[in-house]
């Protein structure tokens, strides 16, 4: 009964996906609401997922030569105004500081929505020669964007993220950096978060403010909507010219460096929830789960059971796993439901009969499969089962992606497919903004990306009939 009561607290995703999502965020104790709209409290379990994401990504960044820095959170209005396209794009979302204590400030300060301008100011002071390049920086911080609507993890006014900012001597180097970071994000999504992605370039309408090109990794959620999970931007030398950043090249001439930026945020946690979760709650990828293995003693009041469970916990902890043992007085049904809700990848059950037979039972969260293992094989078996959890999660998400990509050859067909099936609709496209806007107005879909792996579906744009230039993915996005 305890398990049934616990599960009933979550709305079925098939009934109301949005409410299911909110229920999971709350019931799994990931997040809470604050007194300010759009500003959320990351609870310890939710923040621990972010810490694990941060640790792994940070290692990947440092392995490719990037260094962490910390910039101020306030940007003078005069500094922000130096890059016209950039400031115009962010103006509606900016929050401003106008008082310092009781004194009205002579100049307004913007609470950073992103930090390109701050980095440019700094780069101008430290870049003088080709020997100073490349500069490959990253910072972990929060940013503020005054969004009109908010949703846990997906759209906050204040949210946690990382933002990489680099300067390069040549366009070639900067473009290589842009692609390298896109590939790192794709690798992380697939091999750490078990989320398959489509890599592609954004249209000019959807690219980042001030960028020449924006690249994206797009994921599909369980409800067949899209999530932009990470972006990498090539800026060319536009910011460098606006901020008068120059360096003396090997030819003894002055040049403007070429710039990139790239970032992911806590919306990845929302992506994890909506890609992998089920009607029992979270299903967490093993590599970022705060608790990878939970040990549950069965009939723990019987002699030797608690001691045996403690020994299993200690062995797995020593092997490097994040382990919890629950020896509370809650029922076994309650405990199973609780750790299913929290998405713990693997459950270890051991009772008197198991211990008598020198064995325990491993239960996978993603598919409920049970495996009986000898205690002497525990560490190897846990490693194998966690790998199977990741593999099973990825394969299920990949099927969801692959089975919900539909080609369309007319605007009406694209509209009907989206209305009836959802998912990604792929078409050819002439490249004109008018057609992109028409798809949005009449079919309700935004462009997701022009995939790096281009297809030739037909010779003409299905919207206007003109010669096609690209294949493109459309969808409804979070």
CATH number (domain holding residue 376)? 3.40.50.800
| CATH code (residue 447) | 3.30.110.30
In angstroms, the CA 265 to CA 162 distance is 6
Residue 2 confidence class, pLDDT cut points 50, 70, 90: very low
CA-nearest of 162, 395, 363, 145 to 261 is 162
Number of structural domains in the chain = 3
Residue 89: predicted pLDDT: 72
Q: Are residues 467 and 343 in the same domain?
A: no
Q: Kindly state whether residues 375 and 423 are assigned to the same domain.
A: no
67 assigned to some structural domain = yes
Q: Are residues 218 and 162 in the same domain?
A: yes
Q: Is residue 9 one of the residues assigned to a domain?
A: no
| Domain identity same for 324 and 466 | no
Asked if residue 166 has pLDDT above 60, the reply is yes
329 and 426 part of one domain:
no
252 within some domain: yes
Q: Which domain holds residue 368?
A: 293-389
**Dihedral pair phi/psi, residue 210, rounded to 5°:** 95, -10
Whether residue 155 lies inside any domain: the answer is yes
Question: In this model, does residue 350 exceed pLDDT 70?
Answer: yes
Three-state secondary structure call for residue 258: strand
- Is the residue at 7 inside a domain? no
Q: Find out whether the peptide bond into 134 is cis, omega within 30 degrees of 0.
A: yes
Asked if residue 21 belongs to a domain, the reply is yes
> What's the pTM value of the predicted model, to 2 decimals?
0.95
Name 203's bridge partners. none
Whether the CB-CB separation of 366 and 312 falls below 8 Å is answered with no
Find the mean pLDDT for residues 171-196: 98
Contact at 8 Å (CB) between 230 and 189?
A: yes
* Same domain flag for 210 and 302: no
The pLDDT value given to residue 3:
39
What confidence tier does 8 reach under pLDDT thresholds 50, 70, 90? low
Q: Output phi, psi for 87, to 5 deg.
A: -70, -35
Same domain, 200 and 272: yes
What are 440-450's pLDDT values in tens digits?
Answer: 999 999 999 99
Among candidate residues 336, 360, 389, the one where a domain is terminated: 389
> Does the residue 397 lie in any domain?
no
Same domain, 94 and 162: yes
DSSP 3-state of 391: helix
- 73 and 172 share a domain? yes
The verdict on 340 and 458 lying in the same domain is: no
Q: Are both 100 and 238 inside the same structural domain? A: yes
Q: Do residues 336 and 260 both lie within one domain?
A: no
């Amino acid at each position: 009964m305890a398990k049934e009561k616990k599960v009933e607290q979550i709305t079925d995703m098939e009934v109301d996906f949005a409410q299911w999502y909110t229920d999971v965020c709350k019931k799994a104790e990931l997040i809470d609401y604050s007194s300010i709209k759009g500003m959320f409290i990351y609870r310890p379990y939710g923040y621990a997922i972010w810490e694990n994401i941060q640790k792994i990504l940070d290692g990947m960044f440092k392995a490719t030569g990037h260094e962490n820095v910390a910039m101020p959170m306030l940007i003078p209005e005069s500094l922000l105004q130096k890059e016209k396209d950039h400031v115009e794009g962010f103006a509606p979302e900016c929050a401003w500081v106008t008082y310092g204590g009781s004194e009205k400030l002579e100049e307004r300060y913007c609470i950073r929505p992103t930090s390109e301008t701050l980095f440019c100011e700094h780069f101008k002071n430290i870049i003088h020669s080709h020997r100073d390049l490349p500069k490959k920086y990253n910072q972990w911080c929060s940013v503020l964007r005054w969004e009109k609507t908010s949703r846990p993890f997906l759209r906050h006014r204040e949210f946690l993220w990382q933002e990489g900012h680099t300067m390069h001597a040549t366009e070639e180097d900067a473009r290589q950096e842009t692609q390298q970071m896109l590939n790192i994000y794709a690798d992380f999504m697939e091999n750490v978060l078990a989320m398959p992605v489509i890599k592609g370039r954004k249209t000019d309408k959807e690219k980042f403010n001030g960028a020449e090109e924006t690249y994206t990794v797009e994921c599909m959620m369980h409800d067949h909507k899209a999530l932009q999970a990470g972006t990498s931007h090539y800026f060319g030398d536009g910011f460098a010219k606006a901020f008068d950043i120059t360096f003396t090249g090997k030819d003894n001439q002055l040049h403007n460096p070429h710039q990139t930026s790239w970032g992911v945020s806590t919306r990845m946690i929302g992506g994890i929830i909506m890609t992998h979760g089920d009607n029992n709650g979270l299903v967490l990828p093993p590599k970022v789960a705060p608790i990878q293995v939970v040990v549950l003693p069965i009939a723990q009041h019987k002699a030797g059971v608690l001691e045996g469970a403690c020994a299993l916990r200690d062995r797995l902890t020593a092997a490097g796993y994040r382990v919890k043992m629950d020896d509370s007085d809650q029922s076994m049904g309650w405990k199973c439901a609780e750790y299913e809700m929290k998405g713990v990848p693997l459950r270890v059950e051991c009772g008197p009969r198991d211990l008598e037979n020198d064995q325990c039972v491993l239960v996978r969260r993603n598919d409920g499969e049970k495996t009986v293992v000898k205690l002497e094989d525990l560490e190897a078996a846990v490693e194998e089962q966690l790998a199977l959890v990741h593999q099973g999660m990825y394969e299920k998400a990949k099927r969801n992606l692959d089975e919900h990509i539909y080609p369309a050859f007319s605007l009406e067909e694209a509209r009907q497919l989206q209305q009836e099936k959802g998912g990604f609709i792929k078409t050819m496209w002439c490249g004109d903004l008018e057609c992109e806007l028409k798809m949005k107005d009449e079919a309700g879909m935004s462009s997701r990306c022009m995939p790096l792996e281009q297809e030739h579906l037909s010779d003409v744009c299905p919207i206007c009939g003109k010669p096609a230039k690209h294949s493109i993915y459309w969808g409804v996005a979070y």
